Structure 1
Amino acid sequence: MCAEVRDSLVELTSKLIQLPSVNPPGFTVNIIGFIKDWLTSRGFSVEIREYVKDKPNAIVRIGKGKPVLILNGHVDVVPPGDETRWSYPPFSGKVVEGKIFGRGSSDMKGGVAVLMMVFSKLAEKIEKSGAGTLILAATSDEETGGHPGVEALVKDGILRGDAAIIAEPSGSFRYYVGEKGLCQVKLVARGRPAHGSLPILGDNAIMRLVNSLIKARELVDDFNSRIKIPSELVGVIRNSAEAYYEAVGKSLGLRIEDFERVVGTVSFNPGVIRGGSKINMVPDHAELELDMRVPPGVNPNDVVNTLRSGLKDVDLEVLDVSQPNYTPPSERIVSLVHEGISRVLGREPKPIIVTGATDGRYLRYSGIPTVVYGPGELGLAHAYDEYVTIEDLVNTYNVLSYVITKFFNL
């Protein structure tokens, strides 16, 4: 890579960070406008699709016919939190000792910058060769579900293709082939009020809820003992556990086996609890919101049914469900990313599955083989002093240039 491209990558990443796009509220008009102007100034025609006010998406395509490759990145970021805990202002995009600091640097404005640069550099070659179609989609709202972003674009038929790459932060030496599904439910307990000094006259909803929570954990543990992970993902689960251990677990005294269990089973996290109105009253209502993440090979509706049939003292309400999803390691786009990392960077890469959700699920649900590969590390997203290294930007740019060139047989 020439110094000019490297410097342009750094400058573009820093500029994107300096355009706040915090979600909530998730307004992305300014940053999408900047991306549109940047692409337009380079001769590209940009389409804007807006499904929710002030949350537009920018789509640009070059070439024609098949195969079709989609490059995707979201432009919204999580809130910076307590800004006094940052070493540098969270929207400064400051470059210090080979790192670019700021909210969204890793998740995922560094990735968006890489995609913009790769697209602009390879577009003419792809178009002149007639080798197929390359699409770049800068999208909104991923941090709160991606519904007016990638999900809407897929449903509208705007994003259709033979393969996709999302530049979420994977680190330049690994890539994601899948992610766990979502199973979020609310447990609601109802009792009978009474004076707190005579609890035998009432029916304590909080106690009902606590007992049901303990039972729910037992039911999920039993469910987990019977899970069968798809054979082609057994090694991927182990890779994932090792990646999480290295990124965040070692410093906390956790083991690789701890992460292997979390990635390969249904996780269990009571996240919100509400109940009672006064200390000297027997509560007649209590509720708890329970977050569970479901590995490939498991249907989250089966988890819901297990809880519903086993919990007798509470009502169960489903809050949100999404299916776990993955792209088989045998798919061509997976092989190309694997090969690209190996040949360009000289490292044997490791495919992993992540515990959270990305917009990749909407593409996979529609039958598009999707790989997540981009600059940044697992432990940096959403953290104070978030940063992306210039080395990672350069590495992922070089790998993606290789992958796209090979994909179109250029």
Structure 2
Amino acid sequence: MDVSRICAELVAIKSENPPGDTSEVIEYIRNFLDARGIVATVTDTGSGRCNLVTRGSKKPLLLCGHVDVVPALEDGWTHPPYSGTREDGYVWGRGATDMKGGCAAILTACDMFVQESRELPATLAFVCDEETGGEWGIRYLLAHHMISPCDCLIAEPSPARHPCVGQKGLCRLDLKFTGTPGHGSLYPTIGVSAIMEAMEMLAYVKSLHDREFPIDEKLREIIRHSSDVFSEEFRIYEGSDILERVTYNPGVIAGGEKVNIVAQHCTLDLELRIPWGCSIPDLVRDIRAHARHGTIFNETTHLPSFTDPDCDFVRIVCREVERVWGGDVFPILQWAASDARHLRGSGFRVIEYGPGELSTLHGTNERISIVSLEKAVNIYRGVLNAYDKTSELS
């Protein structure tokens, strides 16, 4: 089974989120599994937002991937974003790295396993809504008890020799600021500008990046190693700051009524990534105190999370990565968020490991190396073999 062909065919099925219609790509996966005798349930949570979960396995392993992708414009691509072109050793197109390549590797590894007349020692889950928060995807499966806590390998793209075992927390705040209108020529003597109130609060948020938080020494060592990996992968030479400090992004701001009126209204969508050791309730309380004329009308938070790097699950995955890639293999933490946070919050041990070209993620000319796809298949087969021999697990 050619993993690059499966990846190319998945990429060619458009599944942008928004709007989030994954019905066609999930139907492709269902047909693929059905042809191999793997029984699956498909859910449609509305508007074609479909998920798939297989049935029958009693082994404590879940292989998971999302099939939604971020939107892509046609401009700037060497190959059209939904062509799935295979050329120059890559599969090209939106979702090749994030993360239809990982999904293709899962499917190929499972195909090879069942072709040996062996019962698949894992449950598979393919979900529709990772890119916009998971409400209709992994969170739907959890809420409807369609998956149970176990060891979960998410095929998200990762550095080749470094499975990701943890990620920073997340805090998203929607704020509304109210000012006192007046003639623009008299500000700041007359009136209170909602826009300037938002800017003053953002000045405080900027200062949060300088705060330091207490971190367990074992975790600090993993952060140090992770920082080294970031420096190599992304040419980010302050990786430890990213993992140890609050990072922030005022993603959307809108306000004002007219250029010569002191702004009466302003809204701000603010996102913060939260390091270990930082209290999110304390952080939100401080932000609220510095938003003198503002209110928080929507708040979404997730704690930082990680899977014990010394557990048997991490040991097995790292062993298989080392077998295939060689070199120095060790787990790392990451700065971004994924479905892993929802799964860890529900009692799963989660590792993210998959093929991909991280520098092209969400960008133009997104692509994935065919070599990395093939190596991922080999690694996933090794993990399946380990869970087929339950004596290895504790």
Give 1:167's aligned residue.
Answer: 155
Give 1:90's aligned residue.
Answer: 81
Q: 1:21 is matched by which residue type in structure 2?
A: S
Give 2:48's aligned residue.
Answer: 54
Q: Deviations for 1:286-325, whole angstroms, at most 9, x for unmatched residues?
A: 2322210012333422311222234434333443212221
- C-alpha displacement of 1:124: 6.7
Instruction: Kindly indicate whether residue 71 of structure 2 is the aligned counterpart of residue 79 of structure 1.
Output: yes
Instruction: Kindly indicate whether residue 195 of structure 2 is the aligned counterpart of residue 212 of structure 1.
Output: no
- C-alpha displacement of 1:76: 0.7
Q: Indicate conservation of the 8 Å contact 2:168/2:335, yes or no.
A: yes
Sort the Cα spacing of 1:123 and 1:362 in 2 relative to 1 into closer, same or farther, 3 A. farther
Q: Secondary structure at the match of 1:350?
A: coil
Give 1:243's aligned residue.
Answer: 229
Q: 1:342 is matched by which residue type in structure 2?
A: E
Aligned CA-pair RMSD: 2.0
Q: Kindly report which structure 2 residues correspond to 1:211-360, keeping only aligned pairs within 5 A, or say none.
A: 211-218=200-207, 220-221=208-209, 224-225=211-212, 227-249=213-235, 254-255=236-237, 258-360=238-340
Where does structure 2 lack aligned partners over 5 or more consecutive residues?
none
Give 1:407's aligned residue.
Answer: 387
Give the TM-score of the pair, scaled to structure 2: 0.93
Q: 1:233 is matched by which residue type in structure 2?
A: L
Q: Kindly report which structure 2 residues correspond to 1:124-143, keeping only aligned pairs within 5 A, or say none.
A: 133-143=121-131
CA distance in 2, matches of 1:157, 1:215: 42
Give 1:108's aligned residue.
Answer: 99
Give 1:40's aligned residue.
Answer: 34
- C-alpha displacement of 1:233: 2.0
Q: Deviations for 1:314-345, whole angstroms, at most 9, x for unmatched residues?
A: 33344321222111101211111111111232
CA distance in 1, matches of 2:204, 2:124: 48
Q: Indicate conservation of the 8 Å contact 1:216/1:311, yes or no.
A: no
Q: Indicate conservation of the 8 Å contact 1:181/1:293, yes or no.
A: yes
CA distance in 2, matches of 1:152, 1:145: 11
Alignment match of 1:148 (pick from 136, 158, 161): 136
Q: Indicate conservation of the 8 Å contact 1:212/1:313, yes or no.
A: no
Give the TM-score of the pair, scaled to structure 1: 0.89
CA distance in 2, matches of 1:221, 1:90: 36
CA distance in 1, matches of 2:334, 2:265: 36
Q: Structure 1 stretch 118-127 or stretch 391-400: which is displaced more? A: 118-127
Give 2:113's aligned residue.
Answer: 122
CA distance in 1, matches of 2:37, 2:285: 54
Q: Which has the higher helix share?
A: 1
Q: 1:387 is matched by which residue type in structure 2?
A: R
- C-alpha displacement of 1:71: 0.4
- C-alpha displacement of 1:62: 4.2
Where does structure 1 lack aligned partners over 5 or more consecutive residues?
none
Q: Indicate conservation of the 8 Å contact 1:244/1:378, yes or no.
A: no
Q: 2:46 is matched by which residue type in structure 1?
A: V
Q: Indicate conservation of the 8 Å contact 1:331/1:369, yes or no.
A: no
CA distance in 2, matches of 1:309, 1:195: 28
Give 1:15's aligned residue.
Answer: 9
Sort the Cα spacing of 1:119 and 1:180 in 2 relative to 1 into closer, same or farther, 3 A. same
Q: Secondary structure at the match of 1:194?
A: coil
CA distance in 1, matches of 2:117, 2:281: 44
Q: Structure 1 stretch 104-113 or stretch 197-206: which is displaced more? A: 197-206
Q: Deviations for 1:245-271, whole angstroms, at most 9, x for unmatched residues?
A: 22222xxxx52xx22101221112222
CA distance in 2, matches of 1:63, 1:210: 54
CA distance in 2, matches of 1:329, 1:162: 16
Sort the Cα spacing of 1:384 and 1:221 in 2 relative to 1 into closer, same or farther, 3 A. closer
- C-alpha displacement of 1:236: 2.2
Alignment match of 1:198 (pick from 186, 189, 193): 186
- C-alpha displacement of 1:30: 0.6
Q: Deviations for 1:86-121, whole angstroms, at most 9, x for unmatched residues?
A: 000111111111111010000011100110111222
Q: Indicate conservation of the 8 Å contact 1:215/1:311, yes or no.
A: no
Alignment match of 1:177 (pick from 165, 179, 182): 165
Q: Indicate conservation of the 8 Å contact 1:166/1:372, yes or no.
A: yes
Q: Secondary structure at the match of 2:273?
A: strand
- C-alpha displacement of 1:243: 2.7
Q: Deviations for 1:143-197, whole angstroms, at most 9, x for unmatched residues?
A: 1111111111122221114201000111332211011111112343322111122
Q: Indicate conservation of the 8 Å contact 2:53/2:123, yes or no.
A: yes
